[in-house]
Amino acid sequence: MSWFRVDDRHAQHDKTRKAHKIEPLSNLLWLNAGTEVAGAGGDGIVRGFRLDDFGHLSGLATPKRLTVAVNALVEVTFWHGHDAWQDCQCVVGSKGWEEKLGRLPDLERGDFLYHDWFDYQLVPKSADVDDLKRARDARDKRLDRSGLKPQIRQRDRDQCRYCGTDLVFRANMTRGKHCGTFDHVDPYLEHPDDNTLDNVVLACKPCNERKSNRTPSAAGMTLRPVPGPYIVSAGGGS
């Protein structure tokens, strides 16, 4: 289990008090988003497509209040906007993002980055990250060779099994709500049980990123039933 670490003096910090004056629920938004980001792997990036969920969870019932709260967190530099982190020492400094992970944040318009994330949060060991990446790459290559992808698409009718969104599969489409991906329901199963019709489903890019390297229950998500009856070609299963 991952933990979102908060300084025990957070409530007394000048930034906390300033953000509270702008929008009283802004710090709850900061906390709720932080726990989700930490649980999903912990890189300090808040994806824009998740803000509505975090806002609802934090009691920010209208888009206007959510916008005010987000702007408050940016104004006090609890968060950086997608185009305002380049010169911050929490990214390019000796103890920052680039040094810890060996790369720069991949932020798109509407995304935000926690300031000083790695001052408080755990950093995955580079060896562990490399091992995990190699294991995922090997698993994905086995899935490519298995011949299951057409059957999975046929069964799931090109719909996300977590939210029901209609999906598009194109080589040049790598982001967005309709970007189709293949998700391993239980990412901890080992070969040869990982790439099976029971364990691989279609997911939109946002749902796949939200679920991350977790089971649906651990991510607080529900796997929807198969959209309807389907016929599996020889070599597969239903």
What is the Cα Rg of the chain in Å? 20
**How does residue 131 score in pLDDT terms, banded at 50, 70 and 90?**
low
**How does residue 135 score in pLDDT terms, banded at 50, 70 and 90?**
confident
229 phi/psi in degrees, rounded to 5: -65, 150
Q: Return the pLDDT at 36.
A: 83
Sheet containing 112-114: order of strands:
45-46, 112-114, 79-81
Q: Is residue 130 scored above 80 in pLDDT?
A: no
pLDDT digits (tens, 9 = 90+) for 2-31: 578 888 889 999 999 999 999 999 999 999
| Mean pLDDT score across all residues of the chain | 84
Where in the chain are the domains? 10-120, 126-211
Which residues, 6 or more positions from 124, have their beta carbon under 8 angstroms from its beta carbon? 41, 42
**How does residue 238 score in pLDDT terms, banded at 50, 70 and 90?**
very low
Query: Tokens 């934090």 map to which residue?
Result: 58
Q: Return the pLDDT at 137.
A: 82
pLDDT digits (tens, 9 = 90+) for 43-98: 788 888 889 889 999 999 899 999 999 999 999 999 999 888 877 888 877 667 77
